[in-house]
């Protein structure tokens, strides 16, 4: 599939992705390296916590969302290169959950100072296998212009 | 060191962290799992890209920042549990960089609906070993009240 330049994006376009399953071992491995808190590391410790049972680090959910974005249908020319973003976690990701994303183009802006590129604002919603929203990410992605 | 409840936080307080060094192998391993784009995976491919040389995924920088937060001096009672955030990447993290953070409390709010908890808004700046800002994260963290 061809990659998309700034000129190919328009407000309202939507893009889908494949799916990624999250197992308990991966949740614990990510947490051990980046978010070593009891409720991400150990089922027993999670029981008495805010989360009630083992939950993925929100940053793990975000990283998996990035993988879905990179391999999904958005395909900006030059790659998925974010500059800034807003993110909120709506509910925890649990062992066995299967994630997918839907992205919608909110804005398309040519750069005033750099005529060869621009920015798209993309809202990416991450869903679990029950169709529940687990994360909403709104990011500004740098995209080259066609022939730029 | 004791953990802090909502009542222990005040606007303007600052908190530091230790340091984490980022090696090329870790940059590539993170990218292979979560952000498989050429400029995060391979020195040669990175040379012709937006980044000019191998650069860590921004999500890797964010995940390392989380580790520094969890192990740093902020120490909210109940753990570092984010609900929503804004994040911007100011410059790439490169192989050999050593990261540290500084966090500042921007707001302290008791919850209207949940008397046993509240939220602190924290701005966390991630610096490299040259003192350059690589990331700014502003996050809303859920914190229990003392005796809550």
pLDDT of residue B147: 80
pLDDT of residue B148: 60
- Search chain B and give the residue with CA nearest A89: B83
To the nearest 10°, report the CA torsion of B66, B40, A105, A128. -60
| Interface pTM, i.e. ipTM | 0.95
Q: Which of B6, B19, B127 is nearest to B75 (CA)?
A: B6
| Residues of chain A in Cβ contact (below 8 Å) with chain B | 30, 33-39, 49-50, 57-59, 62-64, 66-67, 70-71, 78-89, 142
Mean pLDDT of chain A: 95
Contact check, Cβ <8 Å, B67/A33: yes
**Whether pLDDT at A1 is above 90:** no
pLDDT of residue A147: 80
Distances (CA, A) of A11 to A6, A107, B47, B143: 11, 6, 32, 38
Contact check, Cβ <8 Å, A88/B85: yes
- Are the CB atoms for A95 and A80 separated by under 8 Å? no
Determine phi and psi for B34, rounding to 5 degrees: -125, -20
- Helices A58-71 and B58-71, packing angle to 10 deg: 180
Distance CA B148, CA B144 (A): 6
Distance CA A131, CA A144 (A): 33
Of A34, A50, A66, the CB nearest to B67: A34
Q: What percent of chain A has pLDDT over 90?
A: 92
Distance CA A138, CA A94 (A): 23
Model confidence band, residue A144 (pLDDT cutoffs 50, 70, 90)? very high
Structure tokens at B29: 């391993």
CA Rg, chain B, in Å? 17
Contact check, Cβ <8 Å, B67/A38: no
- Are the CB atoms for A92 and A3 separated by under 8 Å? no
The model's pTM: 0.96
Q: Which of A52, A55, A138, A133 is nearest to A92 (CA)?
A: A55
Q: What is the pLDDT of residues A37-93, one digit of tens each?
A: 999 999 999 998 889 999 999 999 999 999 999 999 999 998 999 989 999 999 999
**Whether pLDDT at B95 is above 80:** yes
Q: What is the mean pLDDT of residues B75-101?
A: 96
Of A59, A63, A88, the CB nearest to B83: A88
> How many H helices and E strands in chain A?
4, 6
pLDDT of residue B1: 57
Going by the DSSP 8-state scheme, the letter that residue A145 receives in this structure is P
Select the residue from A59, A68, A111 to test the B interface by mutation, using most B Cβ atoms within 10 A.
Answer: A59
Contact check, Cβ <8 Å, B50/A78: yes
pLDDT of residue B32: 98
First-last CA distance in chain B: 20
Q: What is the pLDDT of residues B18-45, one digit of tens each?
A: 999 999 999 999 999 999 999 999 999 9
Q: What percent of chain A has pLDDT over 70?
A: 99
Q: What is the mean pLDDT of residues B57-66?
A: 98
pLDDT of residue B62: 98
């Amino acid at each position: 599939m061809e990659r998309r330049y700034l000129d190919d994006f328009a407000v309202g376009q939507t893009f889908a992705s494949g799916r990624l399953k999250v197992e308990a071992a991966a949740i614990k491995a990510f947490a051990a390296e980046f978010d070593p808190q009891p409720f991400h590391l150990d089922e027993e410790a999670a029981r008495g916590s805010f989360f009630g049972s083992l939950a993925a680090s929100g940053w793990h959910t975000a990283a998996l969302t990035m993988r879905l974005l990179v391999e999904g249908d958005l395909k900006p020319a030059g790659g998925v290169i974010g500059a800034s973003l807003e993110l909120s976690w709506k509910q925890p990701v649990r062992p066995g959950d299967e994630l997918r994303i839907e992205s919608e183009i909110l804005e398309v802006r040519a750069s005033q100072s750099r005529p060869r590129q621009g920015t798209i604002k993309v809202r990416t919603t991450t869903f679990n296998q029950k169709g529940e929203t687990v994360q909403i990410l709104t990011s500004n992605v740098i995209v080259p212009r066609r022939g730029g």
